[in-house]
Structure 1
Amino acid sequence: MTFEPPIHWNDYEDIAMKLHERFGDEFTEGKIYRIRFTELHKWVMEIPNFSGTSEQSNEGHLEMIQSSWVYEWRDSHKK
């Protein structure tokens, strides 16, 4: 078993990777950009090893997570 350091709100790439692992191709680039921030917030809070609190979240964090998730999705679809 490997140790995974805690994930915080500003660990955008780590969060994006976890969301991509969880949802895979269920969300395309367009769908990722249409996710409500309330849903995105809930999913981030459900990530194992996530140590941020709800109060530490803000719109800027959610926007960066959303963008990072899109980049992660794009990377996984390069031929």
Structure 2
Amino acid sequence: MKLTWQDTLDIAIALAEKYPDVDVQYIRFTDLHSYVCQLEGFADDPNKSNERILEAIQMAWLDEL
């Protein structure tokens, strides 16, 4: 499955599985952006993200925990 920036829930699940020890509440958006871009199956343009998208991913990740 190919992930895009719009797949916030699927990205959050993948991040929770790949980075179980990350303190999501205090993650910097630059780090979060990097983590998303490194996910297997992520196939979107890294430049298409913005603060709103990263915040939505962060909130979904927190909900997964």
TM-score, shorter chain, exceeding 0.5: yes
**Number of matched residues?**
65
User: Which residue, out of 1, 7, 15, partners 2:3?
Assistant: 7
Residue of structure 2 equivalent to 1:17: 13
What is the root-mean-square deviation of aligned Cα atoms in Å?
0.8
The TM-score, its normalising length taken from structure 1, stands at 0.78
Alignment partner, residue 25 of structure 2 = 33
List runs of 5+ in structure 1 lacking aligned partners: 74-79
Confirm or deny that 1:68 pairs with 2:60: yes
TM-score w.r.t. the length of structure 2 is 0.93
Q: Which runs of 4+ in 1 moved over 3 A?
A: none
Structure 2 segments unaligned to the other structure (5+ residues): none
Q: Which of the two has higher C-alpha Rg? A: 1
